[in-house]
Amino acid sequence: MLSVAVPLGLALCLLLALPFLLHYHLEETRARQHALDSENRVLELAQQAAVQEVASVLSDLRFLHEQNEMRDLLRGDAPGARERLAAEYLTFVSQKPRYEQAAVIGADGGEVVRVDGNDGRPTVAGAPALQWKGDCAHFQETMRLGRGEVHLSPLDLILQGGAVQMPLKPVLRASVALFGAGGERRGVLTLSYHGRRLLTRLRAYAQGGASQLWLLNEQGYWLAGPDPALEWGFAFPERSDRTLAAREPEAWERIRAEVAGTVDTADGLLTFRRVYPLAGDASASDAPAMASPHRYSWTLATLLPHAALSKRMAGLAGTLLAVYGVTAPLLFGGTLWLTYRSARGRARLREAQRRERERMLELAHANRLASVGEMATQMAHQVNQPLTAIVTYCAAAQRSLQSGAGDLSRVREWVDAIGEEAQRVSAIVRGLREFVRRGKMAPVPLDLGEVVAGVVGALRPDADRRRVKLGVETPAGLPAVLADRVLVAQALLNLVRNAIEAVSVEPSERRRVVVSLALEGDRVVVSVADTGPGVDPGLAGRLFESFVTTKPEGLGMGLSITRSIVEAHGGQLRYDPAPSGGAVFSFSLRRSAP
Ligand code: ADP
């Protein structure tokens, strides 16, 4: 029982695990999607903030460019224009602490006006403090621009005396070229914006979440990154290899190739999106260069560590495991119990079958004892012949011995013959004894023709007395069947006796019973057909039940026993009305292996 129940229980427990795994998998996919959605929201807000921030810088730049004081300066003939411009810029920078500096650089590269933010205490740079910026990239590049075009420097760190100023001061310079009345280039107006303000604003969006927000420049250097030591790599010779490109080459390749996306990296889920800060410069709608805002970009990215996702899933896994931990043993135990119950049920059935078979054997035995009368008639007939022969041989031998002149060799022959006849008697008696034995079913390869002959022989005296023609139709070469000789003879005896009784009510010329054998596939079919009135329709459906009889002296056990015997041999007892009236009872037995 355990050999079935344990694997079955385990298999069911495994099956039960499937919905749990599926649920976990779906939840994981959902959680991942949820995480991605929220990362994308953060990136979108950060993107908008970056674009807005740069747009407001550009708008301020244009405002300064259009001021009267600037026009005066460019005309070059207004006395005190430079001072007025300086005063104007001082007010402007005081009101807008986001700027580190506002400056006008002459066409020769020398600063003309400069106001420094000076950490919230803006000052106008006096003449000695003015510097030469002719070699600065942003100056040179802006000088090449057309009217209205804006130059945006990379987000960079302020240098002091050739080295990075400490603490680090990120700065973003927006510049326009200045043109004189004749269209000649007169210099550059530059507004330096505190990059720290942008970075702080961007980082605020990721605050409280599980992920970090990064800002990367076009070379893959972190402007805001996972760790301060990794940031501004391009500004420090010893950090020049600290790029995302070096750390996560595949992710970087994707970032370069796609505008937005998600990459699985060793550290976690990297969601990225490219930002074009110039794309939000609404004030430049009339400026030709702004038609290509995509020339300048940053990459915003969030890194959601694997641990953050798995932490979310760990809770669910714990719950699922707990539920599974409770249900699986229940299922396992239930399976064991059910299997045990059904095994017990099967044992009861088998026990019931065994008892039924025993009962059948008992009944068959009783049934046979009832038939002994017929057998005895038949036996008396059979025994009579050898006994008569024995008596004759004995008398001849006695005579020969008494005369004293007898031939001894002849006496010896008679004695041998007596022995043989006695053997025949003994075989007949043995047959009877076997017939009435009670016992277990013992299937052996059996010649059904022989059994039929035996039964027909036993019933013939009765048939003769009732003037019933009893015929046998057995084709030659039938294979042996596997069956219990005595029980099959018994079943056949019951059927043939019923048939003889049934035809007895018919006029004597119509009284006919035929026992026939036929091979059908691997079975031999035995049928008993008679020319009687056929089975009473009132017995329909109950014919093979016990104690069903229409005969005044009948017991109603014959067909019930016959059916039990046939079924015990794996066959089925059938009743069919004969086409010409009368009854046909038949059953089949499997042939024994050749
Ligand atoms: P019994 O012979 O003691 O009545 P059976 O179980 O052998 O018990 O038969 C049950 C009944 O089936 C019989 O009483 C009879 O009505 C019917 N029967 C059996 N064999 C035949 C047959 N060959 N022809 C018509 N009726 C039959």
460/466 Cα distance (integer angstroms): 10
CA of 384 relative to ligand 1 center, distance in Å: 33
Q: Is residue 537 part of a domain?
A: yes
Same domain, 431 and 520: no
Q: Which residue CA neighbors atom 19 of ligand 1 most closely? A: 498
Q: Which residues pair with 178 in a beta bridge?
A: 187
What pLDDT band is residue 281 in, cutting at 50, 70 and 90? low
CA of 133 relative to ligand 1 center, distance in Å: 131
26/530 Cα distance (integer angstroms): 75
What pLDDT band is residue 282 in, cutting at 50, 70 and 90? low
Q: Is residue 472 part of a domain?
A: yes
Angle of CA points 220, 222, 227, to nearest 5°? 140
Same domain, 86 and 218: no
Buried b (16+ CB within 10 A) or exposed e, 227-244: eeebbbbbbeeebeebbb
How many folded domains does the chain comprise?
Answer: 4
Return the SS3 of 276: coil
User: Residue 469 pLDDT > 50, yes or no?
Assistant: yes
Q: What is the pLDDT, as a whole number, of residue 311?
A: 77
User: Residue 289 pLDDT > 80, yes or no?
Assistant: no
For 17, what's the count of Cα atoms within 13 Å in the CB-facing half-sphere? 11
Boundary (domain end) residue, out of 418, 436, 454: 436
Q: Which residue CA neighbors atom 26 of ligand 1 most closely? A: 535
Q: Is residue 25 part of a domain?
A: no
Q: What is the pLDDT, as a whole number, of residue 439?
A: 63
Least confident segment among 42-56, 281-295, 499-513: 281-295
Report the pLDDT averaged over residues 461-465.
88
Burial class of 427 by CB neighbour count within 10 A (0 to 12, 13 to 18, 19+): exposed
**Owning domain of residue 182:** 67-197
Report the pLDDT averaged over residues 24-28.
85
Q: Is residue 576 part of a domain?
A: yes
Q: Which residue CA neighbors atom 4 of ligand 1 most closely? A: 549
Q: Is residue 315 part of a domain?
A: no
**Where do the H-state alpha helices sit in 76-183?**
81-95, 137-143
Report the pLDDT averaged over residues 181-185.
88
User: Residue 209 pLDDT > 60, yes or no?
Assistant: yes
Q: What is the pLDDT, as a whole number, of residue 253?
A: 94
Task: Encode pLDDT of 240-262 as tens digits.
Answer: 899 999 999 999 999 999 999 99
User: Residue 507 pLDDT > 90, yes or no?
Assistant: yes
Buried b (16+ CB within 10 A) or exposed e, 547-573: ebeeeeeebbbbbbbbbbbbbbbebeb
Q: Which of 549, 566, 580 to mutate to test the pocket of ligand 1 (most atoms within 8 A of CB)?
A: 549
What pLDDT band is residue 170 in, cutting at 50, 70 and 90? very high
Q: What is the pLDDT, as a whole number, of residue 262?
A: 92
Task: Encode pLDDT of 516-549 as tens digits.
Answer: 999 999 999 999 999 999 999 998 889 988 788 8
User: Residue 168 pLDDT > 60, yes or no?
Assistant: yes
**Residue labelled with tokens 């059908």:** 520
Beta strand ranges found along 217-318 (DSSP E): 222-224, 260-264, 268-275, 298-305
Same domain, 378 and 486: no
Which carries the bigger pLDDT value, residue 6 or residue 234?
234
Q: Are 169 and 158 in contact (CB under 8 A)?
A: yes
Q: Which residues pair with 405 in a beta bridge?
A: none
Tell me the one-letter amino acid at 273. R
Mean pLDDT of all residues belonging to the chain? 86
CA of 580 relative to ligand 1 center, distance in Å: 19
Same domain, 157 and 80: yes
CA of 585 relative to ligand 1 center, distance in Å: 11
Angle of CA points 588, 591, 594, to nearest 5°? 170
CA of 498 relative to ligand 1 center, distance in Å: 6
Q: What is the pLDDT, as a whole number, of residue 287?
A: 47
- The number of the ligand 1 atom at minimal distance from the alpha carbon of 582 is 24
Tokens of 138: 């942003």
Q: Which residue CA neighbors atom 13 of ligand 1 most closely? A: 549
Same domain, 188 and 212: no
CA of 500 relative to ligand 1 center, distance in Å: 11
What pLDDT band is residue 291 in, cutting at 50, 70 and 90? very low
Pocket of ligand 1 (CB under 6 A): 494, 498-499, 502, 530, 532, 534-536, 539, 543, 548-551, 554-560, 583
User: Residue 290 pLDDT > 70, yes or no?
Assistant: no
- What is the CATH number for 192? 3.30.450.20
CA of 539 relative to ligand 1 center, distance in Å: 9
Same domain, 170 and 73: yes
Q: Is residue 7 part of a domain?
A: no
Q: Are 102 and 92 in contact (CB under 8 A)?
A: yes
What pLDDT band is residue 374 in, cutting at 50, 70 and 90? low
Q: What is the pLDDT, as a whole number, of residue 437?
A: 66
Q: What is the pLDDT, as a whole number, of residue 536?
A: 93
Q: What is the pLDDT, as a whole number, of residue 252?
A: 93
588/580 Cα distance (integer angstroms): 23
> What percentage of the chain has pLDDT greater than the value 90?
39
Q: Do the bridges between strand 159-160 and strand 583-590 make them parallel or antiparallel, or are there none, so unpaired? A: unpaired
Q: What is the pLDDT, as a whole number, of residue 288?
A: 42
Q: Which residues pair with 265 in a beta bridge?
A: none
Task: Encode pLDDT of 428-458 as tens digits.
Answer: 777 777 766 666 777 889 999 999 998 898 8
